Structures are given as C-alpha cells and as structure tokens.
Amino acid sequence: MSTGGMSSLLNLLNGAEEVDAVAALLRCCGSGRWAREVVAQRPFGGIGDVEEVSAAVLATLDWAEVVPLLDGVARVRERWPDLGRGELIYEQRFGHRFVLCPAGLGRAEALAALRHRSGHDRWTERAVATAELARVVAARVRGLVLGGVSTVASPGQVAICHVADDDHSR
C-alpha cells in the first residue's frame, strides 16, 4: 500500500470539511450515521485507527440500520455459484443476507463459514454478520486509500468498492 495514498485519505478525513469527509466515507458504507460518527472521531493517526472506530460505530447501529447495509454487500454465490443453495437456506433461516468478507478466503473457507454460521442462534449471528460487515467496510476503506472505489451509488445504498483481486463479486 502506498504511503502517499494512505496520507491522502488521512489528510482528507482529518483536514477536510465535515461534509467532504462524510461523503468520502459514504462511498464505503451507506450509513450516514456511521459516516458522521466516524468523522466526529477525527483526527486519526493511521488507517488502523479509522478501521477501529469504524467497527466500533458499526457495532452501535441498531439491527434495522444494519440490514440495509448487509443488502449492499455482494452475495457469496456471485463469487462461488455452487454455494447459492446454502446461502439461500441461511437467508431463509435468519431473514437477512449472508455476509462474508471474501478477502483471503477460498471456496472451502467460505463453505465452512456458511455451515458454521448456519448453526448460530439469531442474536449470535446478528453479531457475527455485523462483524463481517465491519471487515467488508474496512476493505472498502482500504480500497478508498488505494483509489479503487466505485463512485456509483444510489442514495442510501452502499457503494461497491473493488478490493484488489479478492473481490470478484461485481
């Protein structure tokens, strides 16, 4: 990761007008509350600080705020079509999209996660899904740092960020 890209994101987040910093973060997560609360924690010393604050803020969102954000994450079956049936069964069981940050995972790990998480109770799985969403958002923030973020998003939707070669979902 280039230091120049890292410092430009940190400069934007730390020094920009609040509205500009919020707009940049909304490209990574469609929650206005999340973006405003992350920006309110400025200044950041490094990307790790941004990720830590991001995850902490995501953990405070009500489930009703999280569900639309889950819907903005690519389905596992878009990357591994043969996992689609298991993903649909999961979604019927829990009533929300199965979210998994695919960075560094192969098909076998994704299948193992799907099977394991399908055994959770509703409350445990909501916490795990929110933590996975935090990992996706962290990857998107890193994508913003690297300049690989798509700027196309409808109001209230999560912008889709391309994260190196690990995100084959778009």
Band of the pLDDT at 6, cuts 50, 70, 90?
Answer: low
| C-alpha span between 153 and 40 (Å, rounded) | 23
Q: Note the pLDDT of residue 24.
A: 87
Apex CA 38: angle with CA 34 and CA 43, to 5°? 170
- Residue holding tokens 């799985």? 125
pLDDT by residue (tens digit) across 75-97?
999 999 999 999 999 999 999 99
Q: Note the pLDDT of residue 163.
A: 33
**Interacting residues of 94 by C-beta distance below 8 A, sequence separation 6+:** 122, 125, 129
CA-atom Rg of the chain in angstroms: 16
Is the pLDDT score of 140 beyond 60? yes
Band of the pLDDT at 162, cuts 50, 70, 90?
Answer: very low
**Interacting residues of 43 by C-beta distance below 8 A, sequence separation 6+:** 13, 14
Is the pLDDT score of 150 beyond 50? no
Q: Note the pLDDT of residue 8.
A: 65
Q: What is the mean predicted confidence (pLDDT) over 111-127?
A: 97
Q: Which of 151, 157, 169, 140 is nearest to 72 (CA)?
A: 157
| C-alpha span between 83 and 110 (Å, rounded) | 9
* Poorest-pLDDT segment among 3-7, 44-48, 81-85, 148-152: 148-152
Q: Note the pLDDT of residue 159.
A: 32
| % helix, strand, coil for the chain, step of 5 | 65, 0, 35
> How many helices (DSSP H) and strands (DSSP E) are in the chain?
9, 0
Across 9-23, 128-142, 147-161, which has the greatest mean pLDDT? 128-142
Q: What is the mean predicted confidence (pLDDT) over 23-38?
A: 94
Q: Which domains does the chain have, with CATH numbers?
A: 3-146 (1.10.3330.10)
pTM for the model: 0.80
